[in-house]
Amino acid sequence: MTGLPDPSALAAGIAALPGTRRVRLALSGGLDSRVLLHLALQACRAGGWPLDALHVDHGLQQDSAQWADFCQRLCDEAGIGLLIHQARLAPLPGQSVEALARDARYGFFRSQLQAGDLLLLAQHADDQAETVLLQLLRGAGPAGLAAMPAQAPLGLGSLLRPLLGCNREQLRDYARGHGLQWVEDPSNSDTRFDRNYLREQLTPRLTQRFPAYRRTLARSAANCAEAAALLTELAEQDYAGCADSQAAGLCWQRFTALSEMRQRNLLRYLFRRCDLPVPGRAQLQAIQTDFLRAAADAQPLFRAHGWCLRLSRGRLTLAPEAAAAAVFDYAWPDSSVPLHIPELGLTLTREGLRARAGVALPAGLSLRVSCRRGGEKIRVRQGAGRRRLKSLFQEAGIPAAARADYVLIWQDDELIAVPGLAVDPRYAVRD
């Protein structure tokens, strides 16, 4: 949709997306989503699509419950369903409340969309311009400066932003012309938030000096979107050339044959592919410096923001960082009696260890079961010395993030079994 709000243009936009079976609308109760609801009711009635709404109560404002009630009344009057989600946000010191609320909101939307669902979002031209400016001030690259796409997949469904061609004043004029009511969020004027600061302090001056700045920034965003798409195509080609066909991760030798720019581009693609937050340029350069200068037998590790990047055995692997390892140490005085380990949600039985892990424990044997703490050794061959678990994990290709899930079985102070990894020959199933 471009220019003034138009229900027929919205109906055409929905019809242009094949496979749409149900339309859903993100309804906050504010001006933008109130106008979109009015348009969507007409468009869906004309096109025959069922319509309902989703509302997220972030719990950050004193009157947020009243806004949810207002949205419920709107939907009751319109004869459509409304699903209200209570998002209990608990920002940590220094954490962006805006980003936390946005993640909670989109996480809920993503969880609710089914195949054939189309979610309508009410961002408009002013929102798009503010997003480009914010991304520019944060030093974003083409992907960030591309700002908000008009249409994109979301969860099992997709999203559509049909108001990106309309500015805030046009929406306000439409609402007043149709006698629509909406709620005003007082936090929208709180200039402690970056977006509000731009809206209150900067964009009025831009409007005076550059009246067409919204269209200009939208054109820049479209150009950046094309550049980002080209970079993604290049990254896909490099990924196909560097992917290790024998194991997870990238072949380090082929990765280092790329130019440094293509290495960074491939790393960004790898993070997006793993659905992890993409590091900034400085962090990517630090990763390159640490990894490229590492000794041939080193195994450098880079951790940050919930992910773990590791170079080991000629492979570069990326994975979400495991949650803090569970700490436990339990006596197992009689191995014929099952032992429950609540930290792992696991129950050990003598029969299960024998059948699934090849561990043969004599009945009545008094044992101890613990988590891994580091430095442990176990005998894996009769007559040979004990070997470090770290070496065995490495030889088995088990990443560090997964090693905390293994349990260690001891007799007195001697490690006799690590089910799924190693068993002392004296306690191994012989057949």
pLDDT, tens digit (0-9, with 9 covering 90-100), for 236-250: 999 999 987 655 678
Dihedral sign for Cα 403, 409, 415, 418, please. Answer: negative
Residue 159 confidence class, pLDDT cut points 50, 70, 90:
very high
Residue 52's DSSP bridge partners are 24, 81
Confidence (pTM):
0.67
pLDDT of residue 296: 54
Q: What is the pLDDT of residue 324?
A: 43
| Residue 229's pLDDT band (cuts 50, 70, 90) | very high
Q: What's phi and psi for 150, nearest 5 deg?
A: -70, -30
CA 228 to chain centre: 19
* Type and span of the H or E element at 357: helix 350-357
The answer on pLDDT for 188 being more than 80 is no
Bridge partner residues of 81 (DSSP)? 52
In the numeric block, the tokens 């678990």 are attached to 389
In this structure, which amino acid lies at residue 13? G
Residue 94 has pLDDT above 70, yes or no: no
- CATH no. of 7-221: 3.40.50.620
Given a cut of 60, whether residue 301 has pLDDT beyond it is yes
Question: What's the full length of the chain, in residues?
Answer: 431
Bridge partners, residue 160, by sequence: 120, 151
User: In terms of pLDDT, which residue wins out, 322 or 389?
Assistant: 389
Q: What is the mean pLDDT of residues 422-426?
A: 93
What is the identity of the amino acid at 114? Answer: Q
Q: Which pLDDT score, from 0 to 100, does residue 3 have?
A: 65
Determine the average pLDDT of the residues in 17-34: 95
| Mean pLDDT value across the chain | 86
Query: What is the SS3 assignment for 290?
Result: helix
The answer to whether the CB of 26 falls within 8 A of the CB of 51 is no
pLDDT digits (tens, 9 = 90+) for 339-388: 888 766 678 998 989 888 889 998 878 899 988 877 789 999 888 888 98
> Residue 55 in contact with residue 28, Cβ under 8 Å?
yes
Alpha carbon distance 419, 416 (integer Å): 10
Which range, 87-91, 244-248, 411-415, has the best average confidence (pLDDT)?
411-415
Which CATH number is 243-320's, of 1.20.59.20, 3.30.70.580, 3.20.20.70, 3.40.640.10?
A: 1.20.59.20
pLDDT of residue 2: 56
Residue 330 phi, psi (nearest 5):
-120, 140
Residue 270 pLDDT greater than 60, yes or no: yes
Q: Which backbone phi and psi does 163 adopt, to 5 degrees? A: -100, 10
Which helix (H) or strand (E) segment is 291 a member of? helix 281-292
**Res 323: pLDDT:** 43
Determine the 3-state secondary structure of 102 from DSSP: helix
Q: Domain ranges in the chain?
A: 7-221, 243-320, 329-427
Most confident of 7-16, 327-336, 371-380: 7-16
Tell me the per-residue pLDDT of 120-134, one tens digit each, with 9 for 90 and over: 999 999 999 999 999
Using CB atoms within 10 A of its CB, is residue 172 exposed (0-12), middle (13-18) or buried (19+)?
Answer: middle
Q: Name which of 76-80, 115-119, 159-163, 268-272 the model is least confident about.
A: 268-272
pLDDT 10s digits, 390-407:
888 877 777 665 677 789
DSSP summary character for residue 115: T
What is residue 103's predicted lDDT score, i.e. its pLDDT? 82
Instruction: For residues 243-270, give the mean pLDDT.
Output: 85
Measured CA distances, 372 to 141, 333, 365, 375 (Å):
42, 20, 21, 9
Average pLDDT rounded to a whole number, residues 182-191? 81
Instruction: Give the mean model confidence (pLDDT) for residues 258-273.
Output: 92
- Decide which of 178 and 248 is more confident: 178
CA proximity to 108, closest of 34, 160, 56: 56
Q: What is the pLDDT of residue 86?
A: 86
CA 43/CA 24 separation, integer angstroms:
12
Phi, then psi, of 272 in degrees rounded to 5: -65, -40
